[in-house]
Amino acid sequence: MHFSVLLLIGFIIACIVLFASFFKHWNVPLILIALAIGIIFGSDVTGIIYFDNAELTKQITDIALMFILFAGGYETKIKDLKNVLKPALLLSSIGVLLTGVICALLFSLIFKWDFLHSLLLSAIISSTDASAIFSILRGSNIDKQTTSLIKLESATNDPMAIIFTTFLIQLFQGYNFSTFSTILIFLWLFIGGIAIGILIGVLSKIIIKQIKDLDAGYYHLLIIGIIFLSFGIAELCKANGLMAVFFTGLILGNTKLPYNNRIAAFTDTLSFITNVIIYVLLGLLAFPSKFSEIYLYGIGLFLILTFVARPVTVFLLTAFTKFSIKKKTFISWSGIRGTVPIVLATYPLIAGLDPNHQMFNIIFIAVILSIVVQGSSLNKIANLLKLTTKKKKKVLNSMELVTVHDTDVDLIEIFIDDELYSGECLVADLNLPPNSTITMINRNNEVIVPSGQTVIKPGDILYLLIEKDNIDMAIDEILNNFEKINY
């Protein structure tokens, strides 16, 4: 690689970090900054980088999405999915079709396009984007049930969008097709992806538990191998590889593994980096000078999709659930579009159905608007709808119990919420269960090594080494030494 290319990559990374630091107080999502940097360095602004390879973009985004979806699955708790599985799968299957049809009807009516072309355009942009949603929701304090549904939907709705788009392209090209075979293909993409992901996750769990006395770095290497295996085996079997990767991550993330926290941090870092790569590439792929003739179509598609098609679909398919109006409204607004629609927009190009790149540019404008408008306002909308919970105190110093052997002892973290409790107590005053000890106290991100005379105060985070059966007893004992604040 030429040194000038390395210099340019370094400069781009530095610009992203500096921009992120500057816009931190405005809560601008990282993906917006990366997208803007890509556009600035692209052909139509500074002209420093000329890039128009949609096929290469697809190949790179497939790899990046593997890490993003694995990290999303790894950080998702199965208990959070129990109440959202049915509505999430409805939205990711029937919801994609319904969104596309509603959007096509209105688009053809308003812009006088024929219905089939409108339907193809709408099918391409009918799925929500996992990379954008996982990036924006990372570390958020939005209601867990709602975010679990949104994440699961975004991780599982690509197969339907792919089949929907491919089916319509074949219709345009006069292919003979069978409705029955199309349904079978979709079911295998969907169910096969889930089954293979779970299978690889279970096998990986067994293998990891058999490995002894290895450094954390080897586990990181193994995780990368598992991600590639899960995706590769699913694709080889003609199932959806990205869905398989998500469910492999889900299985492993809900398993007690050696170096669990370090693996979580590693996958989170991979997701963070690959998100940046994806949106810089999408920014480079944009040619704003070509938007002047079709920008009204792009804006119209975004408005129809966001304010009509998505809300109608969400409210219809969640009509018999226990989700409140506020949660349904937030789910509607969370239908962010991103990388997959742009990749799908290359399908008509390759098939010769979009020679002037009109569909591609319309999709690109609608996607950018979705990321900018919905992505930047997602947390604000959650606050407005009162769907945020109290944010957990951020900890810079943390501990992890690392063992390659099965044990009944665990290292737990107890936060004494200073908004709920007042007073103080000595470590010596605590009547903790046998075989338990406070190993560290984190106070305002300063580490305190406790002794019997150490004072525990509200706002402290205690790290307690304790037998698993005694955890609840220890938590009650510690909190009962403080006065509960009544509002």
Q: Is residue 267 part of a domain?
A: yes
The residues, ordered by sequence, that sit 6+ positions from 184 with a Cβ below 8 Å of its Cβ are none
Angle between helices 85-92 and 94-111 (to 10 degrees): 40
Residues 453, 358 share a domain: no
Residues 299, 424 share a domain: no
Cα–Cα–Cα angle for 201, 251, 261, rounded to 5 degrees:
110
How many domains is the chain built from?
Answer: 2
List of the chain residues with pLDDT < 70 = 1-3, 27, 139, 175-179, 212-213, 390-407, 486-487
425 vs 265: CA distance, rounded Å: 34
Query: DSSP letters along 319-381, please?
Result: TTSS--HHHHHHHHHT----HHHHHHTHHHHHTTS-TTSHHHHHHHHHHHHIIIIIIHHHHHH
Instruction: Assess contact for 395 and 422: CB atoms under 8 A.
Output: no
User: Which pLDDT does position 80 carry in this prediction?
Assistant: 75
User: Which pLDDT does position 327 carry in this prediction?
Assistant: 95
* Six token digits for residue 397: 């110093």
Residues 432, 306 share a domain: no
Residues 369, 415 share a domain: no
Q: Is residue 264 part of a domain?
A: yes
Residues 470, 380 share a domain: no
- Give the three-class secondary structure for 177: coil
Q: Is residue 15 part of a domain?
A: no
In the chain, count H helices and then E strands.
23, 8
Instruction: Assess contact for 391 and 439: CB atoms under 8 A.
Output: no
In which element (H, E) is residue 462 found? strand 461-467
From 384, 401, 426, give the residue that closes a domain: 384
Domain of 474, in residue numbers: 409-484
Residues 470, 339 share a domain: no
Residues 96, 181 share a domain: yes
Residues 231, 94 share a domain: yes
281 vs 34: CA distance, rounded Å: 9
User: Which pLDDT does position 406 carry in this prediction?
Assistant: 61
Residues 55, 121 share a domain: yes
Residues 452, 379 share a domain: no
Q: Is residue 14 part of a domain?
A: no
Residues 222, 275 share a domain: yes
Residue 317 CA to chain centroid, in angstroms?
22
Q: Is residue 4 part of a domain?
A: no
Residue 208 CA to chain centroid, in angstroms?
25
CATH of the domain at 321: 1.20.1530.20
Residues 221, 123 share a domain: yes
**DSSP state, 142?**
B
Reported pTM: 0.77
Long-range (24+ apart) CB contacts under 8 A made by 287-294 are 287/42, 287/43, 287/44, 287/52, 287/361, 288/39, 288/44, 288/45, 289/44, 290/357, 290/361, 291/361, 291/364, 291/365, 294/358, 294/361, 294/362, 294/365
Q: Is residue 443 part of a domain?
A: yes
- Give the three-class secondary structure for 238: coil
